[in-house]
Amino acid sequence: MKGTIKVFLAGREVELPWNTLIGELYEMLGVSRWSTLLLVNGKPKADDSYLNDGDVITWLRITYHESPRENSGENT
Amino acid sequence: MRKCDLCGLNEAVYTDYSRRVSLCANCLMKSVRRRAWHVLKEELIAGDRIMIAHSGGKDSSLALLLTKEFADLHPDMRLSLLSVTVDEGTFYRRASVELAKRLASELGVRHRTYTMEEIHGLSIEELDFKLPADWKRSPCTYCGVLRRQALNAIAREIGATVVVTGHNLDDLVQTAAMNLSRGDINALVKTLRHERKIEEGLIPRVRPLKMVYEREIATLVVAKGIPAHLGKCPFTQGMRIGVRREIDSLEDRVPGTKVRALQTFSLISLRLSADVRLRRCRVCGEPTTTELCKACQFKKELSTFLQRDLVRPLNLERVRRDRDVVWD
């Protein structure tokens, strides 16, 4: 069994432990799962999915939205 | 392959930490649909003319899709749908307008685009060019106020009885927390309590995604290939970043925090009464709580930079002409 896998992260080859979970990658990269969605080979995967050798990781910023109402007089 | 904990068939695309399950796109869609339809069932009434504030972004696109499914499933309610995009005149919006049109067309929903320039007499891109770099407000601040006012005015003039927006759980919890930290009880009550009366031309809003995490929406839009713009607006400012980070961090430590927070804020809002007396702005006639509405205050400020008088009633001529042709 291999000790590490190689994945492509932002175009760079990166070596990770063989049993790395997607959820752990958020922590390794220091990004919040609430503001960023990691995609594996262009698709979302559950945080408890394992990464595989050769996977291409990209990410998507997901936090953009206007405010529903920030104070009582602002939007009326 | 990590399979879905519910159906055991498809690959899991989303982990729900509060339920400790990982779901495939189909089971996630079922779960989101159930929550959205519950809101629509509670808040829509038979015969409603629904205007969907459809920017073409992920949230409003999913809101449109689920509202259309709901309407099709309840023909007895005779719901009419119209998708409306307000084009602020930014290069960011141009891409999303095309996606908004495409999704509406695929769903068989009529779509209209109105520009900020025709309604308010200015575009956000123009603001970006002409505002001094050290100006006290960003284009984002003006855009939010002007867009919200335009959407309400369009809804009223086009004959909608209700506006469906794509606001999600994260948006609402952040806003409620910000209102709470400011001590603005009126805003808290007005944001969370759904009331059907049309007061001073303010059209009621329905938020079918209010119990859906933003992350669930993004996952579904990508996994299901729903036509929606996933980019970030270049003018977005970090006004709520701090609040968001704190709430996200709490959610990480105690999964389900956002859901329980919104349920609690909503219960509180039911027990409080808002002391908001709406009236019409003395210049533009739009609903406001002050003599001069915020949009007119902003436009007065901007008239100096743009060297033309922007403080005037909204131009809704084209909207009024559309009124008789957009509803089935």
Interface predicted TM-score (ipTM): 0.86
Say what the pLDDT of residue A75 is.
Answer: 40
**Chain A residue numbers touching B15 (CB-CB < 8 A):** 23, 46-48
Nearest CB among A34, A46, A73 relative to B289 is that of A73
Residue A47 C-alpha, separation from nearest chain B C-alpha, in angstroms: 6
- Cα-based torsion angle of the residue sequence B174, B88, B212, B218 in order, rounded to the nearest 10 degrees: -110
In the predicted structure, residue B220 carries a pLDDT above the cut 90: yes
Say what the pLDDT of residue B256 is.
Answer: 97
Q: Which CATH number is B26-275 given?
A: 3.40.50.620
User: CB-based contact (8 Å) between A63 and chain B?
Assistant: yes
User: CB-based contact (8 Å) between A30 and chain B?
Assistant: no
Nearest C-alpha in B relative to A73: B289
- The average pLDDT across B292-313 equals 91
Say what the pLDDT of residue B179 is.
Answer: 87
Say what the pLDDT of residue A68 is.
Answer: 52
C-beta of residue B86 within 8 angstroms of C-beta of residue B188: no
Instruction: Please answer yes or no on whether A62 and B58 come within 8 Å at the CB atom.
Output: yes
**Chain B residue numbers touching A74 (CB-CB < 8 A):** 145, 294
C-beta of residue B32 within 8 angstroms of C-beta of residue B220: yes
| Strand intervals (E) in B21-165 | 21-24, 49-53, 80-87, 110-115, 162-164
**Chain B residue numbers touching A39 (CB-CB < 8 A):** 222
Instruction: Please answer yes or no on whether B222 and A39 come within 8 Å at the CB atom.
Output: yes
Write the pLDDT tens digit of every residue in B35-71.
999 999 999 999 999 999 999 999 999 999 999 999 9
Instruction: Please answer yes or no on whether B2 and A50 come within 8 Å at the CB atom.
Output: yes
User: CB-based contact (8 Å) between A35 and chain B?
Assistant: yes
In the predicted structure, residue B239 carries a pLDDT above the cut 60: no
- The average pLDDT across B299-321 equals 92
User: What is the tally of structural domains in chain A?
Assistant: 1
Model pTM score = 0.92
Q: Is residue A46 part of a domain?
A: yes
Nearest C-alpha in A relative to B147: A75
Q: Which domain holds residue A10?
A: 4-61
Nearest CB among A44, A63, A75 relative to B14 is that of A44
Q: Which two tokens stand for residue B265?
A: 């804020």
- The average pLDDT across A56-76 equals 62
Q: Is residue A29 part of a domain?
A: yes
B232 pLDDT band (50/70/90 cuts)?
Answer: low
Nearest CB among B59, B182, B219 relative to A37 is that of B219
Nearest C-alpha in B relative to A23: B15
C-beta of residue B166 within 8 angstroms of C-beta of residue A48: no
Mean of pLDDT over chain B: 92
- Cβ neighbors of B42 (< 8 A, separation 6 or more) are B194
Say what the pLDDT of residue B108 is.
Answer: 97
Q: Is residue A73 part of a domain?
A: no
Say what the pLDDT of residue B51 is.
Answer: 98
Domain harbouring A38, CATH code: 3.10.20.30
- The average pLDDT across A45-49 equals 97
Task: Please give the backbone phi and psi of residue B201, each rounded to the nearest 5 degrees, phi first.
Answer: 80, 10
In the predicted structure, residue B5 carries a pLDDT above the cut 50: yes
The amino acid that residue B102 corresponds to is R
In the predicted structure, residue B277 carries a pLDDT above the cut 60: yes
Share of chain B above pLDDT 90, in %: 69
Say what the pLDDT of residue B235 is.
Answer: 65
- The average pLDDT across A46-68 equals 84
**Chain A residue numbers touching B165 (CB-CB < 8 A):** 68
Say what the pLDDT of residue B191 is.
Answer: 83
| Strand intervals (E) in chain B | 12-16, 21-24, 49-53, 80-87, 110-115, 162-164, 205-206, 279-280, 287-288
Share of chain B above pLDDT 70, in %: 98
Nearest CB among B22, B170, B187 relative to A71 is that of B187
Q: Is residue A67 part of a domain?
A: no
The amino acid that residue B251 corresponds to is E
- The average pLDDT across B293-310 equals 91
Q: Which of B247, B160, B169 is nearest to B207 (CA)?
A: B169
Write the pLDDT tens digit of every residue in B170-207.
999 999 998 888 888 888 888 888 888 778 899 999 99
